Amino acid sequence: MSNLPFVIVNYIEFNIVLLIFVIIIVKFLTERKGWDNSYKNAYIFVSLWSIIYFCLLLLLIELPIYILNRLLLVDIGQYSLIANIIIIIIDSVVATTLFRIVYKKELGESFIFTLILLVIKNILILCLGIVLFPLTQFVQLFP
């Protein structure tokens, strides 16, 4: 049975709210460094980065967990931890590459900047999860 309200809340939480906050943070940090002050570059960078990140989540976590747990009835145990570490590594490489392309910066500057962004993004995801947890729990009650 599908829980459409839960899917809608998760979509709003991670695809809209997170996207807006990260765009504002990217613009603020790049403007503070004196690199660029346009929302266009921040939007391009964050949009591409988010699309790739959510594709990684889908392909490396959600799909294998669905296949292993639901279809093969196998307990995956440590798979989620290993997959999250792989996603963090791939995400940092992808974000650094995208940042270099969009902002035309050197590898060192891009890598440090994206590491700062990854930390801020993960803290933001944690905070959004804590703030919106009661709402998502309430929405899950409805089939």
What DSSP assignment string belongs to 8-37?
A: HHHHIIIIIIHHHHHHHHHHHHHHHHTS--
**Percent of the chain clearing pLDDT 90 (strictly above):** 3
What DSSP assignment string belongs to 117-130?
A: HHHHHHHHHHHHHH
Count of beta carbons in the 10 Å neighbourhood of residue 88 = 13
Q: Is the pLDDT of residue 13 over 50?
A: yes
Q: Is the pLDDT of residue 136 over 70?
A: no
Q: Are 45 and 98 in contact (CB under 8 A)?
A: yes
The overall pTM is greater than 0.85: no
Distances 10 to 6, 54, 77, 84, 126 between C-alpha atoms, Å: 6, 12, 24, 19, 13
pLDDT at 28: 86
φ, ψ of residue 118 to 5 degrees: the values are: -65, -40
Q: Is the pLDDT of residue 140 over 70?
A: no
Model confidence over 66-106: pLDDT tens digits?
777 666 666 666 777 787 788 888 888 998 998 898 888 88
Among the ranges given (46-50, 63-67, 122-126), the one the predictor scored with the smallest mean pLDDT: 63-67
